Structure 1
């Protein structure tokens, strides 16, 4: 008898092996388009951070925050789902469910994503320090901007290996007939 964890793991493996809308991610160009859509969604989240930081507290900033967040999520969730299926769960599944090639691809994607995320963190740190120095001792980050920044950093960190894996995934070999 299997436990609920084992049952959940097996379900995830089966879901990642199904072909949902295969025409949408069958070629390298289409997978790169989906990866670009995820990057667009992340860019909208980062724009939300800038709007929150610059415009808080105002009703206009709140409306634009909500609009950017909603638009970002409408793009983000379907694109991430398609990338997960296109990459056959390289980033999503546990190592015991992957072969050696998939494990190697995951390690390369995570290494690249780590470097990119480190650059993003350095840029955020430098921006925060520069704003703190130019605005004076009483300057503090607005709460809305802090929430938006935490969300943007978290989702960027979470999904960047998947985007890199989807971007790098080659087309399957053609049939030799």
Structure 2
């Protein structure tokens, strides 16, 4: 068994663990997880903006570490629980998903792609607006560029999971037949 197959099997087993179920049992809880994950992403973006405004300085370094720590506190538990809630819809290889999950993954990726185009358009507009005023003397701290790129990467990576978590319906109550079947 290759390492990636072992890893996929480990991920599937971890998603079946009951410890996360209370976090994602209802649609309202899953949407809170999505909000927490999105807030973590926004903190990454805020970190880039703060760094752009005050770098290079000691205050920028302190702000970076504080915002990154807060971001991880919100982001990691939310993403972990959402992965369990969606049964790996956005993270597992397609061969590990059933037909319903593959269809939902396609819908989530389509919506996330649309949202990502909006994010990229806004970032481009903001960069042009900020740089326009400075002319040839406009400068952007290298740390801000790195943080913007990391924020873009994380946004691109996690948007399908956030969309899938937001859209995921509650399971039918016990004793009622599944509508999809």
Q: TM-score range by the shorter chain?
A: over 0.9
Q: Distance in 2 between matches of 1:69 and 1:31?
A: 23
CA positional deviation for 1:21: 2.7
1:174 aligned onto 2:173: yes
Structure 2 match to 1:149: 148
CA positional deviation for 1:13: 2.2
Judge conservation of contact 1:19–1:85 (CA < 8 Å) in 2: no
Matches of 2:53 and 2:87 in 1, distance apart?
A: 40
Aligned residues: 176
CA positional deviation for 1:61: 2.0
Whether 1:29 aligns to 2:31 is no
Who is 1:55 aligned against? Answer: 54
Gaps of 5+ in 1: none
Q: Which 5+ residue runs of structure 2 have no aligned equivalent?
A: 177-181
**TM-score, normalized by length of structure 2?**
0.92
| Residue number in structure 1 paired with 2:2 | 3
Residue aligning to 1:97: 96
Aligned twin of 1:16: 15
TM-score for the superposition, normalised by structure 1:
0.94
Does the 8 A contact of 1:45 with 1:152 survive in 2?
A: yes
The Cα RMSD (Å) is: 1.3
Q: Is the 8 A contact 1:90 1:98 kept in 2?
A: yes
